[in-house]
A and B are shown apart, each in its own frame.
Chain A
Amino acid sequence: MGKVYEAEKVFSGQLDRALAGQAVQIDVDAQDDLRTALEFSRRMVDLRPDPRWQFQTVLKVNLIQKLKEQEASQPSGRPWFLKILPREPIWQIAAVLAVMVVVGGVLWGTVFRAGTPEVVNAPTKPLATTAASPTQLPAATVPQSTAAPQPQIAAAPAATAAPALPFTSIYTAPANQYLAADGSNDKAVYLRGEPVRINVSWKNLTSQQISIQEFPPIVSLMEASDGQPVYTFSAGQTGRTISPGENAIFTFIWDQRNSQGNLVSPGRYYLELEEMYYNGQAVKMNLSRPVSFEISKTY
């Protein structure tokens, strides 16, 4: 019974590896039953059907159209004063408390202290970096050593240097939206061996600067038939700062060779952006329009 349970655990683990596109590691000492079950499941993974390309495209267009119609027919869900509040209740409470602290501080400073002479000189450091802090104490009571917490921009490089996070930002909101990626290529069908030019742009959607430590980020060319990468462009060696609203554009030129230097087979390929990271969290990049193309059989 114990052996069966162990075999089932090994089987599930190895099957998950196969489904993730990783190699299945079959122990030479494994029972024949387990080994053949794993080999068969690997074959099942290979035999899985894919949805037809035309079906995918037509359905996507229909759904986006319906969604836009829905959006157009519905009035905006939340009034403007609620839209500026975060959606999570805990952040809503935090925001309300922050506003109360700031308002209380202002009232205390202007009403209750009005007419009394200043006891302490105004702080010598500008308050700009602390003004947004909801927990800011009145200036007169703030000790010099804690008067100015480090702004996020100063902390970012040190915090992200160690495990090489490729993407840092001074954008401090708990946001999940920083950059919009878009891509285009010059032709729908390329001759075999013909260079493929792909433009990819990253637009800063925030109101503050975004720094990408390694620009351009990693992109891969994938084989449409099996979704496997055939060639990956490494990340750039230098950083790039993108201003609010700015589009950072990079042109990739692919010589149709795989990572072993061989010409890839004719067929359909598409571009995929690798994940980027913010504060250690993986952020998957997606293109607004799929960049896909065909490589013909003729040279």
Chain B
Amino acid sequence: MLTILTLAGMVEKIGSSAAESFAVFYEQYLPKVYRYINYRIADVQTAEDLTSAVFEKALSKFKSYDRRKAGFSTWIFTIARNTVIDHFRSSRQSQTVGLEAVAENPSPHISPEDEADRAEEIQLLNLCVAQLSDPEKEIISLKFGAEMTNRQISAVLSLTESNVGVILYRAVRKLRDGFRGRQNG
């Protein structure tokens, strides 16, 4: 049985029913963590493996999380970010961009033709994201994947909030221009 909790209170309760609390945490953060990673690594299988790794790390550290030191969102995305950095360090793989992300997760309300168009757009977008600088990629991932506010991103990346806003705006305009260019070219 799952208990009602505020997010901040969830960790407080962890001592008495960790499984239930973790389930709440999982439901809330899995899509965001996955999307964050998928923005950094377009390969679906790798993104899933890294998402699993993030949650396993979070699970092992869950009891030691101190909400007075960092917000929950900041905490989990710091783990996610470090996991992605470790992956790049160890594999040195170039990012791959595949259509399987969409093909394996089709929307029930979209026709196959529209689905193919969508897949193509996602692929194009991934290619454009890959062209951004590292800080831009990071901010795009935290914004669109993790759905963080500029203030939260500034806490994770140790930047000022206004700096995050400037980089974000610039990155989206680059993506827009790159996307248009590739669509027309």
Neighbour of A59 across the interface among B52, B105, B169, CB < 8 A = B52
Interface of B is mostly: helix
The minimal Cβ–Cβ distance linking A293 to chain B, given in whole angstroms, is 13
The minimal Cβ–Cβ distance linking B112 to chain A, given in whole angstroms, is 15
Neighbour of B23 across the interface among A53, A178, A288, CB < 8 A = A288
A49–B27 Cα distance when bound, in Å, is 16
CB interface residues, B 2-46, toward A, < 8 Å = 2-10, 12-13, 15, 18-20, 22-24, 26-27, 30-31, 34-35, 38, 44
Q: Is the CB of B1 within 8 A of A288?
A: yes
Name B119's closest neighbour in chain A (CB-CB): A47
A49–B123 Cα distance when bound, in Å, is 11
Task: Categorize the interface residue count of chain A.
Answer: 35 or more
Stretch from B74-82, B85-93, B130-138, B143-151 that touches the partner: B143-151
Q: Is the CB of B3 within 8 A of A205?
A: yes
The minimal Cβ–Cβ distance linking B131 to chain A, given in whole angstroms, is 15
Task: Categorize the interface residue count of chain B.
Answer: 35 or more
Q: Is the CB of B48 within 8 A of A87?
A: no
Using A176-B9, A267-B109 as known contacts, say yes or no to A51 and B169 having CB atoms under 8 A apart.
Answer: no
Q: Decide yes or no whether A64 CB sits under 8 A from chain B.
A: yes
Which of B3, B13, B27, B145 has most A Cβ within 10 Å?
B3
Neighbour of B121 across the interface among A47, A64, A83, CB < 8 A = A47
The minimal Cβ–Cβ distance linking A144 to chain B, given in whole angstroms, is 39
Q: Is the CB of A9 within 8 A of B173?
A: no
Q: Decide yes or no whether B157 CB sits under 8 A from chain A.
A: no
Q: Decide yes or no whether B70 CB sits under 8 A from chain A.
A: no
Stretch from A33-41, A102-110, A119-127 that touches the partner: A33-41
Q: Is the CB of B48 within 8 A of A225?
A: no
Q: Is the CB of B144 within 8 A of A203?
A: no
Q: Is the CB of B24 within 8 A of A49?
A: no
Neighbouring A residues of B113 by C-beta, 8 Å: none
A67–B149 Cα distance when bound, in Å, is 31
Using A49-B105, A286-B24, A287-B2 as known contacts, say yes or no to A37 and B176 having CB atoms under 8 A apart.
Answer: yes
Neighbour of A37 across the interface among B9, B118, B143, B173, CB < 8 A = B173
Using A16-B149, A44-B172, A44-B175 as known contacts, say yes or no to A285 and B4 having CB atoms under 8 A apart.
Answer: yes
The minimal Cβ–Cβ distance linking B180 to chain A, given in whole angstroms, is 9
A44–B162 Cα distance when bound, in Å, is 22
Name B20's closest neighbour in chain A (CB-CB): A288
Using A15-B143, A40-B176 as known contacts, say yes or no to A284 and B168 having CB atoms under 8 A apart.
Answer: no
Neighbouring A residues of B144 by C-beta, 8 Å: 19, 44-45, 48
Neighbouring B residues of A63 by C-beta, 8 Å: 22, 26, 55-56, 59
Q: Is the CB of B18 within 8 A of A181?
A: no
Q: Decide yes or no whether A257 CB sits under 8 A from chain B.
A: no
Given A8-B169, A51-B34, A177-B13, 8 more contacts at CB 8 Å?
Answer: A44-B125, A51-B35, A59-B55, A66-B56, A179-B4, A276-B4, A283-B6, A286-B2
Q: List 13 A-B contacts (CB under 8 A).
A: A44-B172, A50-B35, A51-B35, A56-B30, A63-B22, A64-B23, A77-B15, A178-B4, A179-B4, A182-B1, A203-B1, A276-B4, A284-B5
- Residues of A bordering B, CB below 8 Å: 5, 7-9, 11-12, 15-16, 19, 33, 36-37, 40-41, 43-45, 47-53, 55-56, 59-60, 62-64, 66-68, 70-71, 77-78, 83, 87, 175-182, 203, 205, 225-226, 265-268, 276, 281-288, 290
